[in-house]
Chain A
Amino acid sequence: MAIACRPADEAATPPHANPGPTSPNAATAIGSGPIDSALAEHWRRAGVVPAATADDHQYLRRVTLDVAGRIPTAAEVEDFIADRQPDKRAALVKRLASGDEFAAHWADIYSELLLGGATQLPKGIESGTRRWLQGELAGDASWRAMTEQMLTAAGPVQPDGPAGFVAVHGRKGRVEALTGTTARVFLGLSIQCAQCHDHPLDDRYTQRDFYGLAAYYARTRPRIKKDPGGGRSLSIVDKRRGQMRMPTDRDAPGMRSGAVVEPSFLGEPASIGTDQTRRQALTEAIVDSPLFAKAAVSRVWTQLFGRSIGPRWDDLGAADDPGHPALLDALANGFVQADYDLRWLVSTVVLSDAYTRTSAGSDADATARRAAFAQFPVRPMTTQQMIRSLLVATGRKDDTVTLRERTVARMTQQARKAHLIEHGDDEMLSADAFAGNVPQALFLLGGPLTVRGAESTRATTLGAIVAEYDTLDARLDAVLLTTVGRPATDAERTRLGGYVTDATGDPDQAWADVMHALLLSSEFLSVH
């Protein structure tokens, strides 16, 4: 068991060969062998020497944020550092990925991906879809099964289910929007440009291709109805008849009076079974396409590294595009073999050789290393990650996950209402990133989470630290562990410790000032 594992606290570990297939850990491990091999080749081609391995403090904080959506508690940090098991990182990932928090965090991400681009979400649809997503992610987490459910959802259905995607994007006859979003989210294709004219930069997809894809949806009628009680119910019906027509130059927007277009899947004529609806045939074609796995893995990789492998995750071009790096293929193949299990995917990526690199280093080669995934980036947190982390750092020890999630949902909604964050920007991934603009910064500087949370009271973590520890150093370490997941540096002992010692007023106030400064720091607010 010892072969595959990295010693925990070693700083500069030179990159070494993967655990080979003979290693027992590779077989039971989450299939990271082929990925790490592909990475090594990727680095070789890019001519980079990977950065050192992240130490335990860095790795724990990063992986807890990315798998469970929050920072680790001080206790979790101490436990992990003290853990002497050789495979503790794999065990940590397994533990985090099988919990409720994994489902909640990734439901946020997938909810934004699936519904984020829609205008004016009707009340209750987003939360209903998110609840369904969370249920799926807590269970099998099969992206294939989830896709099939979402794209073939039919009949009258409650918002707590998979029907939200088709209903939201396709309601009021918006078949072009539904088609473009379907292609983007599930196949990684930005084919929506071909809607009005042949794709300007990519001559693979014509306007005819776009409407051939839209033709699969020609008989689908999604509707969102208001219930007497104020809620919403969804209805998706597939008619027996109906044809897609090409739009002509004389048509007003939304009208299509040109020639009839039969369904075709990216240039291939459709094969629709006698008992199949067009939508069911489309779903089959989608999940069978090699682009399905590539788009899914690339999206997750981009989420975790802040940049995509090769082309943008939603601009993959074609299934067999020679511009797709071998790393993308390796990850996609592994995903298919793992039955499209999202838990496998996230776990595999966070245990890969790329993810375990440090983010430190600003020498001349750092940019090249980051571009090749040989150095971890410094990324903003999502809004929900930030809220959860602030709650963990400042809140009570006995806060349950359920209570916290309720607060997260409520505060996210408030932030949206106050235009602090917007849905689905074009820069899809920074749509939910926080602390990027001034109103958000004002929220952090003066908002309730930080101003009240940074205080030392009976209800806050800081209050507990001040009560539990007696010495300046012990308190300082506890504050640092709680916020940035590591003990204080010598410089911090001087600067922050000195600030508290020199404070003339209430010492609790001085600690609150230190806490506040840490909560607003890039180190706290980033994933790194």
Chain B
Amino acid sequence: MSPVSRRQSLRLSLGALAAALARPALAAAPTTVVSAPGHRPARACIVLYMHGGASHIDTFDPKPGRQTGGPFASIGTDVPGLSISEHLPGLAERAGQLAVIRSLSGTEGNHDRARYLMHTGYSPAGSTAHPSVGALVGAHVAEVAPEPAALPGYVAIGGSGHTAGFLGARHGPFVVPKAGQPIRYLKDADRVSAARRRARAELWRGQQAAFAQRGAAPQITGHTDVMEQALAMMDSSQMDAFDLQHENRATRDRYGDTEFGRGCLLARRLVESGVPFVEVGMKGWDTHTDNFERVQRLSGDLDRAMSTLLDELADRGLLEDTLVVWAGDFGRSPRINARGGRDHHPRASSVVLAGGGLTTGQLVGATDDDGREVVDRKVSVVDLMRTVATALGLDPNRARMTPEGRPITTVDGGRVIEGLWS
């Protein structure tokens, strides 16, 4: 690292320390569930979400020599039994930092339903709007915070994340469509000074109080909370975390000049500033046609960005406290169709975990020779959700009431994946 970037990173780290002290981490929450004796919950989570469903066979679960295996070669890693696609060399080198789960088995083959399931741990069921895990984490942190934080609890980059459902829109994702672009409307169109803004806010608070007295409803509280958060944001220098211009060229190049690369860089900055949950979406994985050409290209971008993210988190001493999750809608079919593509395949897919104090450098589960069925240590989406919730210190069994009066638990059953903490 160059001296300049080291200075910058130190400054940001100090800022992050201040922020972390100001915002109680997940670890301090009263309902904290500890993953394993001697392990503390992670303070943050970064989800790298592969929209469309990444082919597991062409990434983390290669099947060399099989007719269904495709043209990619696989490369070995330091982890016994683990080879991955030749187009992910950076991650192969860092396999010791990964826990590769090859036995995820889902039930949803439709994109919207699969996305819903992967974000909430529930299949869509008509009348209940389940909150995403990001919203749950954000709500949890907000509950224990002594005062509202300036930065959002759940940020979704390059995708719209998933709603907070019945938890209420104020816990919904703060969407950043393109990392690096300025946050809209944040600087108040330069027409109003900070002093005037504060004066207006005081007038506004007076109106809110009077209206609340006449006929208070939860609606007003929600609106007031959201406005106060927006006002805090407008006045906060912490929002600089969203500005990638603070990073030097070398750093930005290391992540790659792609939207996903910038998204990962932004995720690192946000976590550094105390944001507990960041989701970075990567589009383009729905390869019903031209699977190999597209996956090769996507893998290059993914490998570069994710490797750099892991490095930077480690360098800054954040990796132990940050759970990183690589996941997507579902896997893809072993069968290669007539257009050189692979189709949706929820029954078997791969998920990769890193950081969070996990015991990495391991392989969990296996699929058959073609990658069609799970044959060892099947992991359901609910199991994955319970594992993630536990890693972040959420109580998976905590029940919350929907507006209709139905209790919904954070995770609906399932078991924590064994061997991830030892």
Identify the A interface with B (CB < 8 A): 119, 184, 190, 192-193, 196, 200, 252-254, 312, 314-315, 358-362, 366, 377-380, 418-419, 422, 425-427, 430, 433, 435-448, 451-452, 489, 491-492, 495-496, 499, 509, 513-514, 516-518, 520-523, 525-526, 528
Given that A436-B226, A513-B203 are contacting pairs, would A445 and B185 also be in contact in the complex, using a CB cutoff of 8 Å? yes
B169 proximity list for chain A (CB < 8 A): 430, 433, 436-437
A360 proximity list for chain B (CB < 8 A): 214-215
Q: What distance in Å separates the Cβ of B98 from its nearest Cβ neighbour in chain A? A: 29
Interchain CB contact under 8 A, A445 and B128:
no
- Residue ID in chain A nearest B160 by CB atoms: A419
A252 proximity list for chain B (CB < 8 A): 109, 333, 343-345
Interchain CB contact under 8 A, A442 and B200:
no
Quick one: which of B151-186 are within 8 Å of A by CB? Answer: 152, 160, 163, 165-166, 168-170, 172, 174-175, 177, 183-186
Bound-complex Cα distance A74 to B226 (A): 29
Counting from the closest, the 5 A-B pairs by CB-CB distance are A253-B109, A190-B126, A436-B169, A441-B230, A517-B203
Interchain CB contact under 8 A, A362 and B215:
yes
Q: Is B418 an interface residue (CB 8 A)?
A: no
Q: Is B227 an interface residue (CB 8 A)?
A: yes
Residue of B111, B210, B212, B231 touching A489 (CB-CB under 8 A): B210
Bound-complex Cα distance A135 to B345 (A): 44
Which among A119, A445, A499 has the greatest number of chain B C-beta atoms within 10 A? A445
Residue of A312, A435, A436, A517 touching B404 (CB-CB under 8 A): A312
Interchain CB contact under 8 A, A437 and B196:
no
Q: What distance in Å separates the Cβ of B276 from its nearest Cβ neighbour in chain A? A: 15
15 additional contacts, CB 8 Å, given A451-B189, A525-B223, A526-B220? A119-B111, A253-B109, A439-B174, A442-B185, A442-B186, A444-B227, A447-B185, A451-B192, A496-B206, A513-B203, A516-B200, A517-B203, A517-B204, A520-B204, A521-B207
- Residue ID in chain B nearest A176 by CB atoms: B110
Q: Is B124 an interface residue (CB 8 A)?
A: yes
Bound-complex Cα distance A440 to B175 (A): 11
- Residue ID in chain A nearest B170 by CB atoms: A437
> B129-169 interface mask toward A, CB cutoff 8 Å, 1 = contact, 0 = none?
11000000000000000000000100000001001011011
Q: What distance in Å separates the Cβ of A56 from its nearest Cβ neighbour in chain B? A: 16
Q: 24 pairs across A/B with beta carbons < 8 Å?
A: A192-B126, A193-B125, A253-B110, A378-B219, A418-B184, A426-B130, A436-B169, A436-B226, A438-B152, A445-B185, A446-B185, A446-B189, A489-B210, A492-B210, A495-B203, A496-B206, A517-B200, A517-B201, A517-B203, A517-B207, A521-B207, A522-B208, A522-B212, A526-B219
Residue of A366, A380, A516, A517 touching B219 (CB-CB under 8 A): A380
A440 proximity list for chain B (CB < 8 A): 226
Bound-complex Cα distance A499 to B184 (A): 30
Q: Is B68 an interface residue (CB 8 A)?
A: no
Q: Is B217 an interface residue (CB 8 A)?
A: yes
Interchain CB contact under 8 A, A496 and B203:
yes
Bound-complex Cα distance A377 to B215 (A): 9
